[in-house]
Amino acid sequence: MSADTQTPGPTTSHTAAQVLAEAGRRRTVAVISHPDAGKSTLTEALALHANALREAGHVHGRSGRAGVVTDWQDMEKQRGISISSAVLQLSHRGQVINVVDTPGHADFSEDTYRALTAVDAVIMLIDAARGMEVQTRKLFGVCKQRGLPVITVVNKWDRPGQEALQLLDEVETVTGLKPTPITWPVGIAGDFRGLLERHNGGYVKYTKAPGGATLALEERMSAEQAAELEGSSWQTALEESDLLSATDADHDEALFLAFETTPVYFTAAVANTGVGQVLDALVDVAPMPRDHLDQAGKTHEVTSDFSAQVFKTQTGMNPAHRDRLAFARIHSGVFHRGMTVRDNRSGRPMVLKHVQTVFGADRSTVDVAYPGDVIGLVNARHINVGDTLSENGRVAYPPLPVFAPEHFRTVRPKDLGSGKSFRQGLRELDAEGVVRVLTSDTRGHGEPVLSAVGALQFDVVQHRMTNEFRSAVTFTELPYTTARIVNAADAPKLRARRDIEVLEDSDGLLFALFSDDWRVRNFERDNPEVKLEKLVATSI
């Protein structure tokens, strides 16, 4: 199946107008939130409304139903959390929608940050009872830094929660964006009767499907019918909507794209209610792919020659073949199967024969794709996260950040006979960014050091090494909490200190490990000539 089944004719020659038209049909968004706000459930509900699924599986372990399609890893199914970003490609109203479901837990924030480099807008999901939680606030800060327009979705309105107007005040106070609701709930949180569609004044009444596995039944009514059916609840919703209009809280697309406002939708994703309006928003409100600046500050228009950046790699999606998939977001031009591109880092050419689109863990071959699409390169093992692929090999987009680790442990196989599997597994997990594998001549390669942003990453390593690579491992915690990047010329001065350890990662970067920030400051004071490079803040 192609990423664009509606485009006839040859895939190797497109005019600028054709590329721009196809880019205009693309929307690429990420779903972000604090853990347990319902990101994966909403993502799957969007797929259900786009007719990409016959049945949702968001209730884990109920009557043998499957788990969420984006949480396909065994550990995700067992714990009910997302530990890695996943991609779905949907079609709706003639548009192609690429949705990236991101991990919510701060321990996996490096994966989330990289996913945000591959999208043009975000859905910021808020729990109706909890409001703007810590991780949501941090993630919003990244969106602000990157200028990503934010669509706000208040979820779990079918459960007791805060008042709608109170939630809007909190969103505006925290983000500085003016909320402009597109839909408005009829009934308080916990008594979700339906939605007032503010643009036309109509009412959508929902009847939940048994078990929430299929679409809720929708009945559209006029304002008069809604008033007769819902009485005071409808009147309250109308009065609140009028109050919003009186305070200029009506949607304005230009202000939204200028990062001044955020359109708001109310949903109960687990019941698949209110989700259809969010799907429509991805067509009507979310922006099309934009031009990008390369590392030198030059603008590459979407109609330029093909270019894409790898933001994630993943193994284990097809256990039968143990292949590796590199996820690349297309920034410009047209991908066509069989084309030759160059990697900016290595300069080596590669023929893109085995390329796929993804739907959770499911994949299908793609023949042609356009700006905004996410493609998966099969078994491109020499490609790293952050690499730029282009037709001429001269495009390089800004490198993706290296997050500062705070947790360090040595790792070794429980069974010394599984050394080959042990080494292979660590190479794969290092390439994916699950952890960073550090080595040194002193320690050797038999017991390397793993560095991580959060402790949960070690749980992922333990689980995947045991179940995927058949090499159970054991850890030993190290007394370090801080890392700095150093150059090779300065490394001997650091190695001379007994309280500092210098190790190298697979990219050749040298990391100096310190037990705390106080020792970093002391070393810098005593050795002002040595440059210690800080990494990006640990978590978002």
| pLDDT tens digit sequence for 368-379 | 999 999 999 987
| 396 is a domain residue | no
Q: Which pLDDT belongs to residue 414? A: 93
Are the beta carbons of 304 and 298 closer than 8 angstroms?
no
| 370 is a domain residue | yes
Q: What is the CATH number of the domain that holds 495?
A: 3.30.70.3280
Q: Which pLDDT belongs to residue 416? A: 85
For residue 271, count CB atoms less than 10 angstroms from its CB and return exposed for 0-12, middle for 13-18, buried for 19 or more: buried
Please say which residue of 363, 390, 417 terminates a domain: 390
Please say which residue of 223, 254, 284 terminates a domain: 284
User: Which of the four pLDDT bands, split at 50, 70 and 90, describes residue 71?
Assistant: very low
Question: CA-CA distance, 52 to 271, in Å (whole number)?
Answer: 17
Verify that 176 and 61 share a domain, yes or no: yes
Whether 113 shows a pLDDT value over 80: the answer reads: yes
Greatest extent of the chain over all pairs of C-alpha atoms, in Å: 81
| 260 is a domain residue | yes
Rg (CA), the chain: 25
Q: Which residue, 380, 139, 434, 159, is CA-closest to 271?
A: 159
Sign of CA dihedral 69, 70, 73, 79: negative
CA distances from 376 to 123, 316, 320, 392 (A): 23, 14, 18, 20
User: Which of the four pLDDT bands, split at 50, 70 and 90, describes residue 394?
Assistant: confident
What's the average model confidence in pLDDT over 398-417? Answer: 90
What's the average model confidence in pLDDT over 166-170? Answer: 97
Q: Which residue, 151, 178, 177, 164, is CA-closest to 281?
A: 151
pTM to 2 decimal places: 0.85
Of 54-68, 150-164, 166-180, 322-336, least confident by mean pLDDT is: 54-68
Residue 368 in 3-state DSSP? strand
| 11 is a domain residue | no
Question: CA-CA distance, 99 to 115, in Å (whole number)?
Answer: 10
Q: How many CB atoms lie within 10 A of CB 146?
A: 13
Verify that 436 and 346 share a domain, yes or no: no
Question: Mind listing the pLDDT tens digit for each residue in 287-337?
Answer: 999 999 999 999 999 999 999 999 988 876 666 656 788 899 999 999 999
CA distances from 471 to 41, 412, 418, 468, 474 (A): 33, 9, 6, 8, 10
Q: Which residue, 527, 379, 506, is CA-closest to 448?
A: 506
Verify that 76 and 223 share a domain, yes or no: yes
Verify that 118 and 255 share a domain, yes or no: yes
| HEC letters along 393-445 | CCCCCCCCCCECCCEEEEEEECCHHHHHHHHHHHHHHHHHCCCEEEEECCCEE
Q: Which two tokens stand for residue 360?
A: 């959770």
Q: Which pLDDT belongs to residue 458? A: 94
Please say which residue of 284, 311, 331 terminates a domain: 284
> What is the b/e burial string over 22-31, where b = at least 16 CB atoms within 10 angstroms of the residue's CB?
bbebbbbbbb
Verify that 42 and 150 share a domain, yes or no: yes
Q: Which pLDDT belongs to residue 68? A: 46
Whether 524 shows a pLDDT value over 90: the answer reads: yes
Question: Mind listing the pLDDT tens digit for each residue in 457-500?
Answer: 999 899 999 988 899 999 999 999 999 999 999 999 999 999 99
Q: Which helix (H) or strand (E) holds 262?
A: strand 261-266
Verify that 177 and 235 share a domain, yes or no: yes
Verify that 279 and 296 share a domain, yes or no: no
Cβ contacts of 59-68, under 8 Å, gap ≥ 24: 59/211, 59/212, 59/270, 62/211, 63/211, 65/213, 68/40, 68/41, 68/43, 68/44
Q: What is the CATH number of the domain that holds 122?
A: 3.40.50.300
Question: Mind listing the pLDDT tens digit for each residue in 467-478?
Answer: 888 999 999 999
Beta-bridge partners for 207: 217
| 21 is a domain residue | no
User: Which of the four pLDDT bands, split at 50, 70 and 90, describes residue 8?
Assistant: very low
Residue 225 in 3-state DSSP? helix
| 395 is a domain residue | no
Are the beta carbons of 114 and 311 closer than 8 angstroms?
yes
Whether 199 shows a pLDDT value over 80: the answer reads: yes
Pairing of strands 95-101, 26-32: parallel
Sign of CA dihedral 255, 258, 262, 263: positive
Summarize the chain as % helix, strand, coil (round to 5): 30, 30, 45
Are the beta carbons of 73 and 83 closer than 8 angstroms?
yes
- The residue range of the domain holding 423 is 407-526
Q: Which of 107-121, 332-346, 379-393 has the highest mean pLDDT?
A: 332-346
Question: CA-CA distance, 366 to 250, in Å (whole number)?
Answer: 40
Residue 275 in 3-state DSSP? helix
| 502 is a domain residue | yes
For the chain, the domain total comes to 3
Q: What percent of the chain clears pLDDT 70, i.e. is strictly above it?
A: 88
What's the average model confidence in pLDDT over 268-280? Answer: 94
Verify that 189 and 169 share a domain, yes or no: yes
Verify that 424 and 354 share a domain, yes or no: no
Verify that 214 and 336 share a domain, yes or no: no
| 209 is a domain residue | yes
Question: CA-CA distance, 139 to 508, in Å (whole number)?
Answer: 30
Verify that 87 and 214 share a domain, yes or no: yes
Find all residues with CB under 8 Å of 157, minimum gap 6, and list them.
128, 185, 189, 192, 266, 267, 268, 274
Residue 18 in 3-state DSSP? helix
Are the beta carbons of 327 and 313 closer than 8 angstroms?
yes
Question: CA-CA distance, 535 to 113, in Å (whole number)?
Answer: 14
Mean pLDDT of the chain: 87
